[in-house]
Amino acid sequence: MHTHQTVDFVRKKGAEYGACAQRQMSIMEALDLLDNVVDESDPDVDFPNSYHAYQTAEGIRRAHPDKDWFQLVGLLHDMGKILALAGEPQWAVVGDTFPVGCRVQESVVFSDSTFHDNPDTKTPLYNTQYGIYQPHCGLANVLMSWGHDEYMYQVMKFNNFALPQEAFYMIRFHSFYPWHTGGDYMHLCSNEDLRMLAWVKEFNKFDLYTKCEDLPDVTQLKPYYQSLIDKYCPGQLCW
């Protein structure tokens, strides 16, 4: 991931998938596809990601029974991992995300030892604090390493999901650990990013701490979550 995620690569993948012209299917059909995906980067999960989706959603439901949109985010958050089934390598699907086009910050895991073969390290502009960006330009204007977060965000945006802005932030940046956990890249953040950070942190608790081998009864849970899908993102969607 640290070798191949470059500005050019991210732009290429954004153009390839941003039009959401790969296929059409419903949320539940996409969730079923997650049964075929195991995230090789996650040491806490060795079962299909559809179960983790329900575990996360149910954890949020217990803590936030009044926020059905937040519960749905739990179900949706890793759905972009179906990229792995489209032939994308794991390093272009999973793993902690980070901005490209500027200097890698210290809280990026193994930042001091795994970027030496990345072509962007040869471009001086990309190795300054701000790189190709302006101070406090906002994360919406930053190129993030390509993976399931950005892909699912693009799907949500393209299909006009009727969810609040907080939901879009949670999906797009939940793997951006150097920001929401490491505290780095604040020099690129807008006031809106800082306001949303608390929501991303709140989501992260359920993403991390609901994983267990006690698998949920999906048959029992499906009708409830289908009702949320019908409310916020119904029908056949473009992916």
Residue 77 marked as a ligand binder: yes
Residue 120 marked as a ligand binder: no
- Cβ(186)–Cβ(153) under 8 Å? no
The b-or-e profile of 31-57 (16+ CB within 10 A means b, else e) is bebbeebbbeeeeebeebbbbbbbbbb
Provide the residue type at 46 as one letter. Answer: D
Residue 2 marked as a ligand binder: no
Closest residue by Cα to residue 81 from 175, 202, 6: 175
- Cβ(100)–Cβ(108) under 8 Å? no
Burial class (CB in 10 A: 0-12, 13-18, 19+), 214: exposed
CA distance 225 to 167: 16
Calculate the CA 133 to chain-centre distance.
21
Residue 207 marked as a ligand binder: yes
CA distance 203 to 59: 10
Residue 174 marked as a ligand binder: yes
- Cβ(234)–Cβ(203) under 8 Å? no
Residue 42 marked as a ligand binder: no
12: how many CB neighbours lie within 10 A of its CB?
A: 12
Closest residue by Cα to residue 13 from 140, 160, 149, 106: 149
- The annotated binding site is made up of 52, 77-78, 148, 174, 207
- The annotated binding site for Fe cation is made up of 52, 77-78, 148, 174, 207
